[in-house]
Amino acid sequence: MKSQIRGAFVWAVLCSIVLASCAPSAPATPQTVVETQIIVQTQQVEVLVTAEAPPVSGEVNVLLIGKPDEDSIDPVTGKNIPGIQQLETMFETAYPSIDMQITNIPWGSGATGYGPKTESMIQAQEACIYLMPGAFQYGRRGYLENLDPWIANDPTFEDVWPGDYLEQWRGWGPGNPDNQWALPYSGGNRVIHYDAVLFEQWGVEPLSQHPTLDEIEEKAKAMTGINPVTGEQNYGYWYQGKYINWQFQAIAHALGATWGEVNDDGTWTVNWDTPEYLQALEWLVMMSQYAPPGALAAEAMPEGFLTDQNVVAIIPEGETGYYLTPFVNDPKLNERFRTTYNLQGPDGKGGLFIADPVAMAASCPNKEAAWEVMKWLTMSPESQKYNFDSGGNLPVIDGAAEAIPELAALVDADAILNQNAFAEIRYPWASSQPRFSLQAAIEAAIAGTMTPKQALEQAQKETEDWLAQQVATPTP
Binding positions for other proteins, rule: CB under 8 A = 109-111, 113, 115-116, 119, 134, 137-138, 141-143, 174, 241-243, 292-297, 299, 303, 362, 431-433, 436-437, 439-440, 443-444, 447, 449, 462, 465-466, 469, 471, 473-474, 476
We find the least distance from the C-beta atom of residue 101 to other proteins, in angstroms, to be 24
Minimum Å gap between C-beta 463 and other proteins is 10
Closest to other proteins by CB, 361 vs 397, is 361
Closest distance of CB 453 from other proteins, Å: 16
Distance from C-alpha of 382 to C-alpha of 374, rounded to nearest angstrom: 13
**Residue number, 206 or 304, with CB nearest to other proteins:** 304
Shortest distance in whole angstroms from residue 433 CB to other proteins = 6
State the nearest-atom distance from the C-beta of 51 to other proteins, in Å: 40
Is 115 or 256 the residue whose CB approaches other proteins more closely?
A: 115
Q: How far is the CB of 398 from other proteins (least distance, A)?
A: 33
**Shortest Cβ distance from residue 455 to other proteins (Å)?**
9
Which residue number, 68 or 115, has a Cβ lying nearer to other proteins? 115
Q: What is the DSSP code string of 114-157?
A: HHHHHHHHHHTT--SEEE-TTHHHHHHTT-B---HHHHHT-TT-
Beta-sheet strand order (sheet of 190-195): 314-319, 190-195, 337-340
The residue among 242 and 453 lying less far from other proteins, judged by its C-beta, is 242
Residue 367, helix vs strand vs coil: helix
Element (DSSP H or E) covering residue 77: none
End-to-end CA distance of the chain: 51
Q: Which is nearer to other proteins, 117 or 210 (CB)?
A: 117
**Closer to other proteins at the Cβ: 38 or 124?**
124
**Is the CA virtual torsion 21, 23, 28, 31 positive or negative?**
negative
Q: Please tell me the distance from the alpha carbon of residue 196 to that of residue 58, in angstroms, as a whole number.
A: 54
- According to DSSP, residue 228 is labeled T
Q: Is 8 helix (H, G, I), strand (E, B) or coil?
A: helix
Nearest to residue 319, comparing CAs of 218, 219, 250, 233?
A: 250
* Coil, strand or helix at 350: coil
Distance of CA 66 to the CA centre of its chain: 14
> 3-state DSSP call for residue 374?
helix
Residue type, 343: L
Tallying the residues shown for the chain, one arrives at: 476
DSSP category for residue 361: B
Q: State the nearest-atom distance from the C-beta of 476 to other proteins, in Å.
A: 5
| Of 70, 340, 333, 66, residue with least CA distance to 194 | 340
Nearer residue to other proteins within complex by CB, 93 or 469: 469
Furthest-apart CA pair in the chain: how many Å?
101
Q: How far is the CB of 438 from other proteins (least distance, A)?
A: 9
Identity of the residue, 395 or 434, whose beta carbon is nearer to other proteins in the bound complex: 434
How far does Cα 454 stand from its chain's mean position?
33
Q: What are phi and psi of 145, to 5 degrees?
A: -85, 135
- Residue 253 neighbours by CB distance under 10 Å: 24
Q: Which of 218, 236, 238, 239 is nearest to 227 (CA)?
A: 236
Nearer to other proteins, 21 or 109 (CB): 109
Kindly tell me which of 115 and 365 has the beta carbon lying closer to other proteins. 115
Question: Closer CB to other proteins, residue 117 or residue 385?
Answer: 117
Other CB atoms closer than 10 Å to residue 361's CB: what's the count? Answer: 23
Query: Residues near 170 by Cβ (< 8 Å), separated by ≥ 6?
Result: 178, 179, 180, 181
Beta strands in 66-106 (DSSP E): 72-73, 80-81, 98-105
Instruction: Let me know how many helices (H) and strands (E) the chain has, helices first.
Output: 18, 18
